[in-house]
């Protein structure tokens, strides 16, 4: 039995690995990479089969945030040329969310910039969620509005909200290096409050912000301790105009190891491949589906993703199926589906060209792959679904 067999065996029994085992995943060599992915796939298959859950982001309030999170294009003082707009109207939110549902999303995530919502903001969002759920009762709704005050999570739950997202982002020891306007403990408190109110807790991390392997393991273990139902794993998008512009520390291989480590530590959680996947995993995105069981469809909050049809084709070509794929294009239904025209393996983000390969183990800048979102919510252009 290899060390990966032993690690997968623990995860199959929902046993927590040791820190040394988690660190070993991150330190493994390229010759072991496919073995690491295969071991993680055994765990993923046990709990989620070959299903991929699609989530869809709607940025309901964009830019002009008073917080100084160094990674964020919407932070105070950001010079990133992203969309900026105040709260979308209810009908605008519903239109954007239903575009994602039509594209195959089982969960829509309503996200607003800011430190946290006022009670009036909660009323606004609750009314919008109630109206959306009346039209789409089978679709899950996740809210992501920042730090919550007393009673706000309960009001969101009463409106029909399924889940609340608030990422830990990094370890407690590294947090002061990426944000000074609030503390790591504030984030832990908000996730706990959401869970106590009956909302499904959704919390994850961002990799590529100068953290160490120990920081990554710390945050993965901290997430396990909070028992989130969903764990989004983001890879830093180094927007020009933010303090972390120019931070290109990740390789596709490194990203796969991080995803596998998170899967071993949180074996039965919905591990979601989130922002930055197109930029950092690039042509290895399909391999990541053997580790994660969830992705965001289409665009992100302030950046563009690859075409939604390309996501569906990628899932089908890799031999996976989309949860609730009935009524979707054939490419989304499963391995027998046919790839949609113009969305095959060579498809890239709008306006970009295929990335040149870099040497294994060597992170290379790819600023040409960072595209600011100019469509969908807050614009007059159709959404990417």
Q: Which residues are catalytic?
A: 65, 69, 72, 109, 142, 202, 272
DSSP 149: P
What is the three-state SS of 78-97?
Answer: CCCCCCCECCCCHHHHHHHH
Record the tokens describing residue 102, joined without a space. 């039509």
In the chain, the DSSP E strands lie at 51-61, 107-112, 140-144, 163-165, 200-202, 205-207, 230-235, 270-273, 294-296, 321-322
- 369 neighbors 306 (Cβ within 8 angstroms): no
**Hey, CA dihedral for 96, 82, 271, 266, is it positive or negative?**
negative
Quote the CA–CA distance of 263 and 359 in Å, as a whole number: 26
Write the CB contacts of 210 (distance below 8 Å, at least 6 apart in sequence): 174, 177, 178, 244, 247, 249
Residue among 165, 275, 261 at smallest CA distance from 216:
261
Residue with tokens 């984030």: 187
**Does residue 294 sit in helix, strand or coil?**
strand
Instruction: Give backbone dihedrals phi and psi of 168, rounded to 5 degrees, phi first.
Output: -70, -30
């Amino acid at each position: 039995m290899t060390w990966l067999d032993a690690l997968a065996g623990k995860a199959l029994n929902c046993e927590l690995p040791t820190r040394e085992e988690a660190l070993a995943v991150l330190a493994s060599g390229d010759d072991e990479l496919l073995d690491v992915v295969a071991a993680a796939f055994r765990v993923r298959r046990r709990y989620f089969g070959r299903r991929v859950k699609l989530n869809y982001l709607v940025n309901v309030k964009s830019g002009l945030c008073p917080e100084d999170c160094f990674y964020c294009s919407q932070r105070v003082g950001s010079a990133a040329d992203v969309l900026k707009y105040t709260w979308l109207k209810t009908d605008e939110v519903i239109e954007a969310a239903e575009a994602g549902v039509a594209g195959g999303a089982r969960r829509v995530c309503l996200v607003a910039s800011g430190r946290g919502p006022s009670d009036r903001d909660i009323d606004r969002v609750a009314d919008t969620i109630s109206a959306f759920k009346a039209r789409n009762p089978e679709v899950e709704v996740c809210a992501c509005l920042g730090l919550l005050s007393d009673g706000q999570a309960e009001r969101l739950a009463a409106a029909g909200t399924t889940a609340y997202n608030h990422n830990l982002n990094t370890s407690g020891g590294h947090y002061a290096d990426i944000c000074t306007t609030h503390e790591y403990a504030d984030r832990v408190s908000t996730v706990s409050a959401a869970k106590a109110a009956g909302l499904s807790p959704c919390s994850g991390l961002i990799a590529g912000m100068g953290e160490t392997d120990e920081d990554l393991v710390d945050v993965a273990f901290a997430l396990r301790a909070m028992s989130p139902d969903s764990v989004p794993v983001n890879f830093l998008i180094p927007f020009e105009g933010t303090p972390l512009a120019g931070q290109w520390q990740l390789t596709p291989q490194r990203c796969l190891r991080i995803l596998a480590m998170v899967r071993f530590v949180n074996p039965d959680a919905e591990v979601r491949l989130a922002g930055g996947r197109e930029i950092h995993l690039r042509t290895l995105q399909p391999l990541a589906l053997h580790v994660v069981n969830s992705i965001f469809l289409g665009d992100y909050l302030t950046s563009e993703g690859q075409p939604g049809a390309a996501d569906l084709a990628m899932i089908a070509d890799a031999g996976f199926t989309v949860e609730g794929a009935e009524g979707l294009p054939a490419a989304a239904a499963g391995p027998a589906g046919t790839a949609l025209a113009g969305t095959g393996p060579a498809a890239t983000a709008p306006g970009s060209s295929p990335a040149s390969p870099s040497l294994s183990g060597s992170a290379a800048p790819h600023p040409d792959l960072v595209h600011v979102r100019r469509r969908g919510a807050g614009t007059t252009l159709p959404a990417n679904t």
